[in-house]
Amino acid sequence: MIGPLIVCFAILAVLGVPIALAMAAAVAVVMAFLTPFPILGMVQRMITGIDSFVLISIPFFMLTGRLMNVGGITSDLFRFARCLVGPIRGGMAHANVIANMILAGMSGSAVADAGGMGVVVIKAMSENGYRRELAGAITVAASTIGPIIPPSIPMVIYGAMAEVSVGRLFLGGFVPGALMGLGLMALIYWTSFREHLPKDRRYAGAEIWDAFRGAFLSLLTPVILIGGILSGIFTPTEASAVAAVYAFFLCFFVYKTIGVRDIPGIVVDTFVTTAVVTFIISATSGFSYLLIVGKVGTALVEATLAFTKSPWVILLIVNFALLILGCLMEAGVLLILLTPILVPMMKSLGVDLVHFGLVMVLNLMIGVATPPVGMCLFVVSEAAQIRLERLMREVIVWCMPLIAVLFLITYWPGLVLFVPNWLMPGK
Amino acid sequence: MNEALQRLSDRLDQVTRWVLVPIGIGFIVIVFLGVLTRYVFQAPIISSIELARLGFVWAAFLGAAICFKGERHTQFLFLLDRLRGRGKAGLKSGIDCLAVSLFIFLSWEGLQMVSAVSATYFPALGWSQLWLYLPLPVAALLMLVHGLAFLVRDIRLLADLGGTR
């Protein structure tokens, strides 16, 4: 039953049928002809698969990111970050990473971060003597921190599908996100000698204060989000709604960068972008159901345990498989398809599902920065007018610190679990 | 027929966008009000979570229909990008046929599902569950019209390319 399902899906997907339709068609054919289950069950699961209070946060995180980009806050953030780290050698590149880390605390999507930050930062860097390809590659790599430092759309999807606390997943992202930033900054510092990268003059205290004041209201967004979740005032979904309304308040009343006429377009665009993800989740719900009734999880666990009983070896294999698949398939699609397959296996091996969630999300985020189907590559190439093949060549070395952090958190779960165990114990 | 179908598809897309705006704004307001009334006024709106779920499912499926019309759903394009002329038009027509068949199936089965759940109710709202299941057949019917418009367009292109071969 599962073999024909996967073959049918793969053929349709390769032929160019949209992923959601290919999945729905494959499930419908298999349920109709190869199983005794009523076909109405598939339709029911297409609805119940997205009828989740956790998934409701996806459009809110998308809306917050969109409003922050439309509101032009990326320039303020970059200016503030430049005041902090500009005087270090390769200062603007460091500021790029720091600004992306701050933006990561507001938006939950790597692609939104790359699009928002790309135009502003790459222009400024190339005007200051950086090669455009280098500036683009650093922006692509830094944008992958977006879904690791909370909030994070991939973590919401994983949390909803694996039935894991989204709050704990969010908290688990702090240390890996910081390590990714530090890793990139270390590589920038090393590259700065080889490429003779410039550094900024030392900024006066008044300039730093002025830049901080400019970015202050935007910097409150992550405080509202994480503070609200940690204090128990909001659930992650409610926090996402409050952050979106706050971002709207900033853009509409404070910065005045959007007007009443812009609202319908922003709303439609937010829900259309959300629908790209939710329609795949909806179509995949029938697939998850067939995996359960077909006892695929059990079969996979038995086959894996016959090969090895070490969770570390299995995590190594899963990591390599995800890194390769991440280069070939879109990260969101892989996350939705593989979570129902891998989570039962990890559960039976005793791997903490928050730890595995971070490993999986970080791994798949590396995929958005790597050729040939890295979405962030396309966005930055388009936004900054850099030839795609040059950007692809340049970005590979900048993925190395990210891969190093991936393996570090894989084999040192404490790096992920320390913060959630400390701040949200026993949840 | 081709132009009439294209016009119908365009008009339905426009209407879907108009409908999505109040649903989307309403959904955002409901979730925010749910937080506000619970934590600020200590008087929670009991039905806000059910309303938010309803709004989200409607917005997600209407968004999926707009997405389909705009050909924005995630797909692998490496094969389509390598094909030229009749090969490409033929493959696109085949994909359109499959999409149309799937949408006919989802519309029909979706309506069956709506009928099956119409006698069950939301605990807090007291509304029939059919409002939760209706977005799927509605979106499927919208996508069926868009899919037919794509199919007619691509078959015409295939015929034109055949004629000029």
**Residue A362 CB burial class (10 angstroms; 0-12, 13-18, ≥19):** buried
Contact A21 B136 (CB under 8 A): no
- To test the contact with chain B by mutation, choose from A29, A45, A47 the residue with the greatest count of B C-beta atoms within 10 A, namely A47
- 3-class DSSP state for residue B121? strand
Contact B32 A242 (CB under 8 A): yes
Contact B106 A237 (CB under 8 A): no
Dump pLDDT digits (tens) for A134-161.
999 999 999 999 889 988 889 999 998 8
Contact B102 A28 (CB under 8 A): yes
Per the structure, how many domains does chain B have? Answer: 1
Contact present, A117 and A100 (Cβ < 8 Å) = yes
Provide the pLDDT for residue A69: 74
In B, minimum Cα distance to A16 occurs at: B76
Dump pLDDT digits (tens) for A205-261.
899 999 998 888 888 888 888 888 877 778 888 888 888 888 898 888 888 888 888
- The DSSP 8-state label assigned to residue A88 in this structure reads S
> What amino acid occupies position B51?
L
d(CA B26, CA B28): 5
Count of Cβ atoms closer than 10 Å to residue A319 Cβ: 19
User: Average pLDDT, whole number, for chain A?
Assistant: 87
Flag the least confident range among A272-276, A278-282, A306-310, A408-412: A306-310
In B, minimum Cα distance to A42 occurs at: B109
Dump pLDDT digits (tens) for A68-100.
777 777 788 888 999 999 899 999 999 999 988
d(CA A55, CA A154): 10
Contact A16 B79 (CB under 8 A): yes
Provide the pLDDT for residue A219: 85
Distant-in-sequence, close-in-space partners of A370: CB < 8 Å, separation ≥ 6: A326, A327, A377, A395, A396, A399
Contact A279 B73 (CB under 8 A): yes
Provide the pLDDT for residue A21: 93
d(CA B56, CA A240): 14
Percent of chain A whose pLDDT exceeds 70: 99
Provide the pLDDT for residue A67: 83
Q: Is B147 on the interface with A (CB under 8 A)?
A: no
**Token match 């759903």: residue?**
B73
- A15 contacts in chain B (CB < 8 Å): 79, 91, 94-95
* Bigger pLDDT: B102 vs A305: B102
Q: Is the dihedral angle over the CA atoms A93, A98, A99, A103 positive or is it negative?
A: positive
In B, minimum Cα distance to A276 occurs at: B73
Flag the least confident range among A52-56, A92-96, A410-414, B154-158: A52-56
Token pair of A40, please?
């109405």
Q: Is the dihedral angle over the CA atoms A383, A386, A388, A393 positive or is it negative?
A: negative
Provide the pLDDT for residue A426: 66
Comparing CB atoms, the residue among A24, A56, A282 nearest residue B102 is: A24
Q: Is the dihedral angle over the CA atoms A177, A179, A181, A184 positive or is it negative?
A: negative
In A, minimum Cα distance to B76 occurs at: A16
Provide the pLDDT for residue B63: 95
Q: How far is B85 from chain A (nearest CA, A)?
A: 16
d(CA A376, CA A370): 9
Provide the pLDDT for residue B46: 79
In A162-292 the beta strands, taken as DSSP E runs, fall at none
Contact present, A383 and A391 (Cβ < 8 Å) = no
Token pair of A82, please?
């430049």
Contact A333 B74 (CB under 8 A): yes
Q: How far is B82 from chain A (nearest CA, A)?
A: 11
In A, minimum Cα distance to B101 occurs at: A25
Provide the pLDDT for residue B165: 46
- B68 contacts in chain A (CB < 8 Å): 18
Q: Is the pLDDT of residue A297 over 80?
A: no
Contact A47 B133 (CB under 8 A): yes
Q: Is the pLDDT of residue B163 over 70?
A: no
d(CA A63, CA B25): 11
State which residues form the domain around B96.
2-161
Closest to A179 in 3D by CA, of A133, A148, A156: A148
Percent of chain B whose pLDDT exceeds 90: 63
Dump pLDDT digits (tens) for B2-17.
788 999 999 999 999 9
pLDDT band at B106 (very low <50, low <70, confident <90, very high): very high
Q: Is the dihedral angle over the CA atoms A338, A344, A345, A350 positive or is it negative?
A: positive
Q: Which helix (H) or strand (E) holds B81?
A: helix B78-82
Q: Is the pLDDT of residue A289 over 50?
A: yes
* Bigger pLDDT: A356 vs B123: A356
Q: Is B80 on the interface with A (CB under 8 A)?
A: yes
Q: Is B145 on the interface with A (CB under 8 A)?
A: no
In A266-421 the beta strands, taken as DSSP E runs, fall at none
Token pair of B44, please?
């929670």
Contact A237 B24 (CB under 8 A): no
The top-scoring range by mean pLDDT among A125-134, A395-404, B82-91 is A395-404
d(CA B73, CA B80): 15
Q: Which residues pair with B121 in a beta bridge?
A: B128
Distant-in-sequence, close-in-space partners of A247: CB < 8 Å, separation ≥ 6: A63, A64, A67, A68, A71, A106, A221
Q: Is the dihedral angle over the CA atoms A112, A116, A119, A121 positive or is it negative?
A: negative
Closest to B60 in 3D by CA, of A56, A22, A263, A335: A56
Flag the least confident range among A46-50, A102-106, A266-270: A102-106
What mean pLDDT is predicted for residues B52-64? 94
In A, minimum Cα distance to B104 occurs at: A25
In A154-195 the beta strands, taken as DSSP E runs, fall at none
d(CA B80, CA B152): 18
What mean pLDDT is predicted for residues A332-344? 86
Comparing CB atoms, the residue among B66, B73, B109 nearest residue A268 is: B66
In angstroms, the Cα distances linking B127 to A43, A226, B124 are: 20, 35, 8
Dump pLDDT digits (tens) for A102-139.
888 887 778 777 777 777 788 888 888 889 899 999 99
